[in-house]
Amino acid sequence: MKVNLIDTVPCQNTLGEGIQWNKEDGCFWWTDIHSAKLYRYHLETKNLTHWALPEKLACFAFAKNDSRIMAAFASGFAWLDVDTGAIEWVAKPETIAGNRSNDGRCDRQGRFWMGTVVDEKKSPDQYASLYCLQKDGGVSKHLSGLGISNALCWSPDSRKMYHADSPSQILHSYDFDAQTGSISNPQVFAKTEDGVEPDGACVDAAGFVWNAQWGASRVVRYAPDGTKDFVLSMPVSQATCVAFGGEKLNLLAVTSARIGLDDEALKQQPHAGNVFIFETDVQGLEESRFG
């Protein structure tokens, strides 16, 4: 496999996450969760823009018939108008103190899924969950008992959903009913080693799963049967999320984080928190939109 680093975006995010490609403007978009900022990087001009937000933005989705972004802020789902800063709340499904929204994306049928994270443990029986926002604004819960919901993505034919509870160090696959949005039959898809947690993921056109792995300085490509197909070494220990983009959907963008790294670690990883763009000989899939 050919994978070459062609660009490093010097954003130095505290916790870069949720990256995705927007073909409408030729930009990669992502969030720095802990800095409560939304980022946009224009691939051709290398112009980097960011917006300060009133609340941590965990993940987001572009919409089919709306210029606004469907955002999963720390406390729930809302429409965000980037131009005006206006926010229209849709739903706040997680009411547990100490929890916040985390990783998420749209399935291929236009539903927006978001998992939560136990950000501050306040009780021994406190757990995170996985929610789905329907096109009509209704919210359903699909998983509970989680620590850090992550790695949401779907197979090209929508028959499988992938998801990880990061502290468990296990990526699961589920049978997915595209018509109803229900999941069933959880299976262990892949496991990571001690000290390595599966983070954000995406699926390429061939159905292989790309997973950023926190604490391992790598992104791993898994075959549809869960075997390890390719390992992309990263110059940072905390890779957080991956997405394909570019005109040919052959550019792999990887976000990263500086959070938790001491001065010595930052000396060893001067690019921690930056976004890395690799040219590959693999084709990705267009990101699904809400609605």
Query: DSSP characters for 19-39?
Result: EEEETTTTEEEEEETTTTEEE
Residue type, 222: Y
**Are residues 98 and 144 in contact, defined by beta-carbon separation less than 8 angstroms?**
no
> 38-57 burial by CB neighbour count: b if 16+ within 10 A, else e?
bbbbebeeeeeebeebeebb
For residue 161, the model assigns a pLDDT of: 98
Tokens of 50: 């960011």
* pLDDT in 10s for each residue of the chain, 291 residues: 999 999 999 999 999 999 999 999 999 999 999 999 999 999 999 999 999 999 999 999 999 999 999 999 999 999 999 999 999 999 999 999 999 999 999 999 999 999 999 999 999 999 999 999 999 999 999 999 999 999 999 999 999 999 999 999 999 999 999 999 999 999 999 999 999 999 999 999 999 999 999 999 999 999 999 999 999 999 999 999 999 999 999 999 999 999 999 999 999 999 999 999 999 999 999 999 999
Class of domain 3-280: mainly beta
pLDDT at position 208, please?
Answer: 98
- The three-class DSSP label of residue 264 is helix
Residue listed under structure tokens 């060893």: 268
| pLDDT at 265 (0 to 100) | 97
**pLDDT for the residue numbered 271:** 98
**Structure-block tokens of residue 113:** 């899924």
How do the domains of the chain map onto residue ranges?
Answer: 3-280
Contacts of 95 (CB under 8 A, 6+ apart): none
